[in-house]
Amino acid sequence: MSFWTYMLHCRGGYFYVGHTDNLERRMAEYESGAICGFVRDHWPASLVWSETCPTRYEALEMERRIKGWSKVKKLALIRGDWEAISMLAKKKKVSPSTSSGRTDE
């Protein structure tokens, strides 16, 4: 059985990222209004990206990862621009904590 991680472009310019074991059925559920929540509140929406995964766990992990991305990085994913995704990933540097407790005195 395959699973999908997918991204929808919703009314208002929002992106929604989710995962499912049946992408066709999930899209039909959204279109019929059967699923309450963000997508129904921001309908219409269109499927702009999807990727298959061998397990539900991998699909969920991919969903969680992408949900944390900036809009610019999500747009690069939709375009399939892996160079931009890589560059955007490198830009995110974590600054050292200023509250490490060290006083160096």
Q: The CATH number of the domain where 30 resides is what?
A: 3.40.1440.10
The reply to whether 51 falls in a domain is yes
The answer on pLDDT for 99 being more than 70 is no
Overall domain count for the chain: 1
The reply to whether 21 falls in a domain is yes
* Residue found by looking up tokens 């309908």 in the block: 43
Mean pLDDT of the chain: 89
Tens digits of per-residue pLDDT, 47-68?
999 999 999 999 999 999 999 9
The reply to whether 79 falls in a domain is yes
The reply to whether 96 falls in a domain is no
Tens digits of per-residue pLDDT, 28-51?
999 999 999 999 999 999 999 999
The reply to whether 100 falls in a domain is no
Check residue 91 and give its pLDDT.
Answer: 72
The reply to whether 102 falls in a domain is no
The reply to whether 103 falls in a domain is no
Q: Which of 19, 6, 3 is nearest to 49 (CA)?
A: 6
Q: Helices (DSSP H) in 7-79: which residue ranges?
A: 23-32, 38-41, 56-67, 71-79
Range of the domain at 53: 3-91
Tens digits of per-residue pLDDT, 16-26?
999 999 999 99
